[in-house]
Amino acid sequence: MRVQLFATCLGDLVLPEAVADAEALLRGAGHEVVFPAGQVCCGQPAFNAGHRRAAARVARTFVRAFSRELPVVVPSGSCATMLSHCLPELLGVEPYEVYELSAFLAGTALPRLNDGRTIAYHDSCHMLRELGISDQPRALLEASGATLVALRRPDLCCGFGGTFSVRQPEISVAMADDKLGDAAAVAAEVLVTADPGCLVHLRARAEQAGGPRVVHLATALARGIDA
């Protein structure tokens, strides 16, 4: 079918290769992908910080750019939550048909790029608790041939939390250390996440302090965990 792809601001600016991977997966599954040029950001950074007016201003770019005729696919659990749960109330608009990437791709046949590899998957909080999506990304990773090892504390947040990461930086980093340490302790080769926010934060800490590589779900599935 035809779908609209929402890159998210972090995807567009920091993780363009992961967005490209997401698009490749959608095409590979037989979908036609439309990329509305006027997209910017869902407004979540301001929304979660309590700045509703600022969030609404930015969120309106979504309404101007995206059509209601086609489903929207997002390679981010937190942005998908923002669009589906918060946008309608924030802007007084009807809800869009929004899918987080792994939920949309559920059941898709995938090349076994990760055969014999050991992966730990990090459930980002929005995806887990607001969208209830935890099986689909794991199923897809297993379909790609990977062996999944469970984190010891899969329930714990990675510590990003948007502005929290700079309001309480020490706690935020301690939480990242717990997550990275957990992945290392269960001998995962990489830590995979479906959320750009979690990814950027964990990767930034791992770069500085050491730790497993952090890979976006789309990349793990489209090009393999070594990409």
Partner 1 sequence: MSALDQPPGAFRARARDALAAERMQAALDSSTLRLYDHRVAAWDGLGDVEALRETARRIREGTLARLDDHLEAFADAVEARGGTVFFARTAEEARAYVVDVCTRAGARLAVKSKSMLSEEIGLNAALEAAGVHAVETDLGEYLLQLAGKHPAHIVAPAIELTKEDCAELLSRAGGVSVEPELEALTAAARAQLREAFKTADVGITGANFAVAETGSICLVTNEGNGRLVSSLPRVCISLLGMERVVPTTAELAILLRLLARSGTGQPLTVYTTLLTGPRREGEEDGPEESHVVIIDNGRTNLLRGRYRTMLSCIRCGACLNTCPIYRRAGGNAYSDVYSGPMGAVLLPLLVGLRQAPALPHASSLCGACTAACPVKIPLHELLLDLRRDLVAEGVASRRERLAFALWSLAWSRPWGYRLATSAARLGQRFGALAGPGRVWASAGRALPRLARRRYRDVRR
Task: Kindly list the residues in this chain that would bind partner 1 in the complex (CB under 8 A).
Answer: 7, 9, 11-17, 19-20, 23, 35, 37-41, 43, 46, 48-55, 57-58, 60-61, 65, 125-126, 129-130, 153, 155-157, 159-176, 178, 200-201, 203-205, 207-209
At position 159, the amino acid (one-letter code) is G
Is residue 173 within 8 Å of 159, Cβ to Cβ? Answer: yes
Q: Which is nearer to partner 1, 186 or 204 (CB)?
A: 204
CA gap 127, 115 in Å, rounded: 26
Q: Which is nearer to partner 1, 157 or 217 (CB)?
A: 157
Phi, psi of 49 (to 5 degrees): -95, 0
Q: Which is nearer to partner 1, 111 or 181 (CB)?
A: 181
Q: Which is nearer to partner 1, 174 or 227 (CB)?
A: 174
Q: In 3-state terms, what secondary structure has residue 105? A: helix
Q: Which is nearer to partner 1, 21 or 189 (CB)?
A: 21
Q: How many Cα atoms within 13 Å fall on the side-chain side of residue 110? A: 32
Q: In 3-state terms, what secondary structure has residue 171? A: helix
* C-alpha torsion angle, residues 124, 125, 128, 134 (rounded to 10): 20
Q: Which two tokens stand for residue 51?
A: 């700045």
